[in-house]
Structure 1
């Protein structure tokens, strides 16, 4: 590891001692996120991704000061907020500075006329949603990590929520944002309601995982709370029938806020019933009462054409009540030798069923349970989760098994031409496969990196950079 002592002293002199830490416990704590592999390494007291100094930014000027010093001394900077990433995005690969922006003062303002909210990037997503709900609004963005993630993190990781079939992903919800470049300039990027003055430059930093700049403030769309909502659970004869059913919903241009389809193995968990013996589909509609009734009728007509049977709303209602619950994976990770992993990918309708079968077969020998569900539907395809739950003899074996699971999954997905991530991003988990996944277009990313971060200080080792 390089000696960054001169930079650390300058950081102390500029920011003050209270914001700069080289204490081992701070460096070790900031070397892990929520990636199950990192959780296991932490339990083994292994910390391969430590920085050299941990900075707590409490005002925007701290960010520009850190970047100026980092550029002067050629020190890597890895930005970190609540670290709910499950792929190692906020973890340093070359030491240097860990810049924690989660303590920046949280503020927000609502523009009811334009139906937008502007919030500092450090704002906890769940807290912001709760404040908006009190005023009759919703973000429409509802990732499982809603209460563990920040608004800025959603943009940096190109996040999407469980209700994206209606509201869209973060790329559809963002109106504008402020970003500080690696070289210190602050930029405001916007297109409200739409702008055709050249390329949409907002897209440059979405999903860039802190490699191109530091997002400081975000303006998002908001939506009136729906006056009506209806839920329905369907048993479905086969996975193929369920995928065809989902495709038909998309092709029919119906926009339910909830579309989630579980294979038989995960249906047992989703329904809380180990005797459940078919795949299961959750559908939900929101909006004006007349629209909800009509949409539910149309959805039921499509579902029955594909052999689905309505079971009532209870299955979906149960899931809605526990959709932020991580305990199954977390409890398993806390046991000696236990692990749980969730890997999401995306693929086209014409090959997603074949890919599902190939992954189930390839991952079967590596885990006690291999579960799968499909959600976030599009005209061209859908995302797919592979969820692995297992118990091994010790944590060392669990670590090696997790590494093998990731390698196996990525190689199978590349073979089938699938997208390696739908919304969890690249991070450390997928960076080794980035160039093969992005292909020739990776050259564009490299050129942007060189132009926007000429000293290569921001989050090196991610996205194949």
Structure 2
């Protein structure tokens, strides 16, 4: 592209969003080139430049977003959506340059509808601000991921995010009623006013989890819940993982706790020991029960009798309450792995008959093929049919050469995720696919991948939206 044409395009984007909301400054382009993806941070840490956008544009609403996409379609310029940059899969990195569409000006709280039990907000809103808006009226969103204070509504929707209360309240896709979406050609559409119906497939589920490849979500109605009358915690220590899985599976046939979190012996002896204070050997599980007080008391009795059958040591409420208080502390500096270490979280999900097999297979594959790596895990989100593994690898001695570090990082991911796939898991549960894992999408789906590719081709024939993400 020559300078004259570039300046013409910039002037069109400025006309769409206002000159003050459009930037070509180097500092802004660098800022929007590194998210929480380990490779992007390592690359920058070694003094290298990540791929950068040519233009940073910040629309205020769907109308301005539409204008940008019409410009991009005409000139066939890539557009990558950027929320708050907290993603771990490289989904927001503008690998093909073009326009980064920063959503943070779309941060309005439009309505707290107590009758309809939802908040309508812009997808650029930080989720903690949405939670505060609900709290002011006596409600809660019940979506409490570790990145609650630093990620946007749209970011969670784009990667099908999840919070610590998911066992009772569901993932982010269970919390959406209706959305406003701008298609790649600039058309503004609305999904149906109710998410459960027989009028064709649920359009919400086409765009949620699509990581900005099919459209740009600009507004959403998010469910709110009454604050629980009672919330009780209970900590347990299991002698082995098999008993813990059996106890959890049986409990979920009886009722749904809000929090259900099991840590393997490696995490129990490290993170749980350091933050919660459990010093005994074993696998720690924290349970939270909440709702109407009478129901909570009854469920607590069922919990205790069920876990007693599997030899769980009841640690009382103290450890559980401390876990709840410190639930985000686990991810703060000093507790969370960070540069110069190499690390990653290969979260997967599977039915109960496969989940323990996947855990041991991944642990063996990673630690055998990469003996310099430590493998630890916890099981964060449980359902009547199965649960997910929040499995991590950590390496202290990382290659100095960035190219070698990249190759090692990708090799570990390929090994771990392929092992999960071979044993009945999926590529990823809730962090997304992004740039990091796109190469494995066809390995999971095989001929079914043509469904995704067909939708992409129909909605985005010029391929401008977030290229090379999600395997598209």
The alignment's TM-score, normalised by the length of structure 2, stands at: 0.92
Q: How far did residue 287 of structure 1 move?
A: 0.5
Moved more, 295-304 or 148-157: 148-157
In structure 2, stretches of 5+ residues that fail to align are none
**Contact 1:32 1:47 survives alignment (8 Å):** no
Report the 3-state secondary structure (helix = DSSP H, G, I; strand = E; otherwise coil) of the residue aligned with 2:149. Answer: helix
Paired position in structure 1 for 2:272: 270
Give the alignment's Cα RMSD to 1 decimal.
2.1
2:136 maps to 1:152 = no
**Contact 2:342 2:398 survives alignment (8 Å):** no
Alignment of 1:22-421 (within 5 A): 22-192=24-194, 194-250=196-252, 252-268=253-269, 269-272=271-274, 273=277, 275-325=279-329, 326-328=331-333, 332-334=337-339, 337-364=340-367, 365-392=370-397, 395-396=400-401, 399-421=406-428
Which whole-Å CA distance do the structure 2 matches of 1:143 and 1:48 have between them? Answer: 28
Which whole-Å CA distance do the structure 1 matches of 2:398 and 2:455 have between them? Answer: 46
Which whole-Å CA distance do the structure 1 matches of 2:335 and 2:297 have between them? Answer: 38
**Contact 2:264 2:284 survives alignment (8 Å):** yes
Moved more, 2-11 or 57-66: 2-11
Q: Deviations over 1:393-444 (max 9, x none)?
A: 5654654443332122122122223111111111111111111123322111
Paired position in structure 2 for 1:453: 460
In structure 1, stretches of 5+ residues that fail to align are none
Q: How far did residue 292 of structure 1 move?
A: 0.5
Q: How far did residue 107 of structure 1 move?
A: 2.1
Which whole-Å CA distance do the structure 1 matches of 2:335 and 2:310 have between them? Answer: 36
Which whole-Å CA distance do the structure 1 matches of 2:112 and 2:262 have between them? Answer: 35
Report the 3-state secondary structure (helix = DSSP H, G, I; strand = E; otherwise coil) of the residue aligned with 1:243. Answer: helix
Closer, same or farther: CA 276–38 of 1 in aligned 2, 3 Å: farther
Q: How far did residue 176 of structure 1 move?
A: 0.7
Paired position in structure 1 for 2:12: 10
Q: Deviations over 1:319-369 (max 9, x none)?
A: 2122223225786424xx323322211122112112111111222235553
Report the 3-state secondary structure (helix = DSSP H, G, I; strand = E; otherwise coil) of the residue aligned with 2:233. Answer: strand
Report the 3-state secondary structure (helix = DSSP H, G, I; strand = E; otherwise coil) of the residue aligned with 1:376. Answer: coil
Closer, same or farther: CA 190–53 of 1 in aligned 2, 3 Å: same
Q: How far did residue 270 of structure 1 move?
A: 1.8
Q: How far did residue 31 of structure 1 move?
A: 1.1
**Contact 1:330 1:340 survives alignment (8 Å):** no
Report the 3-state secondary structure (helix = DSSP H, G, I; strand = E; otherwise coil) of the residue aligned with 1:11. Answer: helix
Closer, same or farther: CA 395–103 of 1 in aligned 2, 3 Å: farther
Which whole-Å CA distance do the structure 1 matches of 2:110 and 2:181 have between them? Answer: 17
Which whole-Å CA distance do the structure 2 matches of 1:242 and 1:367 have between them? Answer: 29
Report the 3-state secondary structure (helix = DSSP H, G, I; strand = E; otherwise coil) of the residue aligned with 2:197. Answer: coil
Which whole-Å CA distance do the structure 2 matches of 1:433 and 1:105 have between them? Answer: 34
Report the 3-state secondary structure (helix = DSSP H, G, I; strand = E; otherwise coil) of the residue aligned with 1:354. Answer: helix
Which whole-Å CA distance do the structure 1 matches of 2:423 and 2:319 have between them? Answer: 33
Paired position in structure 1 for 2:432: 425
**Contact 2:82 2:101 survives alignment (8 Å):** yes
Which whole-Å CA distance do the structure 2 matches of 1:258 and 1:34 have between them? Answer: 26
Closer, same or farther: CA 205–228 of 1 in aligned 2, 3 Å: same
Q: Deviations over 1:82-114 (max 9, x none)?
A: 011111111122111111111224223111112
Q: How far did residue 142 of structure 1 move?
A: 1.3
Which whole-Å CA distance do the structure 1 matches of 2:17 and 2:148 have between them? Answer: 31
Moved more, 422-431 or 152-161: 152-161
Q: Deviations over 1:276-298 (max 9, x none)?
A: 31011111100111111111111
Structure 1 stretches of 4+ moved >6 Å: 1-4
Q: Deviations over 1:173-211 (max 9, x none)?
A: 111111011111111113437322222222111101001
Which whole-Å CA distance do the structure 1 matches of 2:334 and 2:219 have between them? Answer: 32
**Contact 1:345 1:383 survives alignment (8 Å):** yes
Q: How far did residue 127 of structure 1 move?
A: 1.4
**Contact 1:181 1:212 survives alignment (8 Å):** yes
Report the 3-state secondary structure (helix = DSSP H, G, I; strand = E; otherwise coil) of the residue aligned with 1:242. Answer: helix
Report the 3-state secondary structure (helix = DSSP H, G, I; strand = E; otherwise coil) of the residue aligned with 2:261. Answer: strand
